[in-house]
Amino acid sequence: MKRDPSTFRRKDDAVEMLDEMNLPHFCGVISEHVMHTDAPLTGEVVTTYPRSRATANAIEDYKDLALELTSL
């Protein structure tokens, strides 16, 4: 997947702002995958994505965030 460097900068800026305001936030990031964009149109949620190389990273993003949430 092509990553725009400005995307990382915006994420870093947002995290820095939250830290300065002493606001809690997750460390995990949900990347923009085509699967996430198409899911509302197809009625799918991440737990029902078909397993493939193309969807593996999309599924993993949500798993990582869920693990972070449940480990609080």
Cα distance between residue 60 and residue 28, in whole Å: 11
Q: Which of 35, 40, 67, 71 lies closest to 53 in space, CA to CA?
A: 35
Sign of CA dihedral 6, 8, 9, 14: positive
Determine the distance from the C-alpha atom of residue 21 to the mean position of all C-alpha atoms in its chain, rounded to a whole number: 22
The whole domain housing 43 covers: 5-70
Tell me, yes or no, if the pTM score tops 0.85: no
Confidence at residue 21, expressed as pLDDT on a 0 to 100 scale? 97
Q: Number of folded domains in the chain?
A: 1
Please say if the pLDDT value at position 17 is more than 90. yes
Confidence at residue 2, expressed as pLDDT on a 0 to 100 scale? 54
